[in-house]
Amino acid sequence: MSAFVKIESLLGEPKPNYQKIWDLQHTWAERIAKREAPEGIIFCEHEPLLTLGRRAKSENILAGDLPLYEIERGGDVTYHGPGQLVIYPLIRLNGENFPEGIHSFLRLNEKVLIHILKNLGLEAGTYGPTGVWVTSKRDRKIRKIASLGIAVRRWVSYHGMAVNVTNDPKDFAGIRPCDFDSSIMTSLAVEGVLISLSEMKSLLEVAYLEAFSQLRNHTLVGKLDLTNQCDEILRISSSNSK
């Protein structure tokens, strides 16, 4: 199923692990560029920390009690921590599949997650700033559920997307995420979708492989039904909330 894109799940990786996985991205991206390794997707969860993108503003860091990493991705400051699923796609951004380069790739990542969130019963979409947003079930306000920042090395993507799954949005209180007040953040758990990181990883794996197979004209063998998986998660979530 994943012969053309290697899936690397590091969800059980001992923490702290950020530096190790950052180094892994550098090495893997370089090998992809040299045609020495397959493209891939890393799924992981990090220890509490802040990353500063190329456009980070110091005034958006409100507390200095977490490790800081200045990294290559675009965007401002963001928070990573337990309960958040981080996805690092390492993909060749050839012009045939991504005519607008990194912008086309950003939109693909957003569409993959939006498709899943809609199947999980959330009103998800993009509302201007990069990332994925939902209309909150609590107060009908638009809130951010996933942050997205990409870097490119020799036309291979790295860094990626952080999806708030079971983490508490209050974890963002030490920053102003992309110039917004931290109250703009939400998570699947807060929005009433009770799903584990492993379950969310499984949904994203299927959705990404389907998206990339369509781009590369590959046929997936044993393709899983994403809609049925989402329906089952919602059924269990509803049962557990009663």
44 annotated active-site: no
Question: Nearest 5°: phi and psi at 51?
Answer: -115, 140
Better pLDDT: 232 or 23: 23
pLDDT by residue (tens digit) across 87-129? 999 999 987 778 778 889 999 999 999 999 999 999 999 987 8
Among residues 122, 146, 178, 200, which one is catalytic? 178
- The average confidence (pLDDT) of the chain is 89
| pLDDT band with cut points at 50, 70 and 90 for residue 204 | very high
With beta carbons less than 8 A apart as the criterion, state whether 145 and 124 touch.
Answer: yes
* pTM for the whole structure: 0.90
pLDDT by residue (tens digit) across 15-74? 999 999 999 999 999 999 999 999 999 999 999 999 999 999 999 999 989 999 999 999
Going from the C-alpha of 56 to that of each of 67, 123, 169, the distances in angstroms are 15, 29, 20
**Separation between Cα atoms, residue 165 and residue 69, nearest integer Å:** 22
Task: Quote the distance between the C-alpha of residue 39 and its chain's center.
Answer: 17
pLDDT by residue (tens digit) across 133-157? 999 988 999 999 999 999 999 999 9
Domains of the chain: 5-241 (3.30.930.10)
